[in-house]
A and B are shown apart, each in its own frame.
Chain A
Amino acid sequence: MEVTATYRDRILELHLKGELDHHGARGLLTKLEREIEATLPAELVLDFSGVTFMDSAGIAVALRGWQRMRELGGCVKLYHVAPQPKKVLEAAGVGRMMTVQ
Chain B
Amino acid sequence: MQRMENYVTLEFLSRSSNEGFARVAAAGFAAQLDPTLDELGDIKTAVSEAVTNAIVHGYPDQLGKIVMKLKLLENNTLEITVRDWGKGIEDIQQARQPLFTTGGEERSGMGFTIMESFMDRLTVKSTPGRGTTVTMRRRISARIKR
Q: Establish whether residues B17 and A23, one from each chain, have CB atoms under 8 Å apart when the complex forms.
A: yes
Answer yes or no: A26 CB below 8 A from chain B CBs: yes
Which A-chain residue is minimally distant from B21 (CB atoms)? A23
Contact of A64 among B19, B42, B105, B110 (CB under 8 A): B105
Q: How far is the CA of A63 from the CA of B110 in the complex (A)?
A: 12
Interface of A is mostly: helix
Return the CB mask of B47-67 against A: 1 if under 8 Å, else 0.
011001001100000000000
Q: Establish whether residues B16 and A22, one from each chain, have CB atoms under 8 Å apart when the complex forms.
A: yes
Given A22-B16, A91-B114, are A57 and B106 also a contact pair (CB < 8 Å)? yes
Interface residues on B, range: 20 to 34
Interface residues on A, range: 20 to 34
Answer yes or no: B113 CB below 8 A from chain A CBs: yes
Q: How far is the CA of A21 from the CA of B107 in the complex (A)?
A: 11
Contact of B55 among A19, A22, A60, A87 (CB under 8 A): A22
Q: Which residues of B contact A56 (CB under 8 A)?
A: 49, 52, 107-108, 110-111, 114
Chain A residues near B (Cβ < 8 Å): 19, 21-23, 25-26, 29, 53, 55-57, 59-60, 63-64, 83-84, 87-88, 91-92
Interface contacts beyond A22-B56, A55-B45, A84-B41: sample of 17 additional A-B pairs, CB < 8 Å, sorted by A: A21-B20, A23-B16, A23-B17, A23-B20, A25-B106, A53-B23, A55-B48, A56-B49, A56-B111, A57-B52, A57-B106, A60-B105, A64-B105, A83-B37, A87-B42, A87-B118, A92-B113
Chain B residues near A (Cβ < 8 Å): 16-17, 19-20, 23, 37-38, 41-42, 44-45, 48-49, 52, 55-56, 98, 105-108, 110-111, 113-114, 117-118
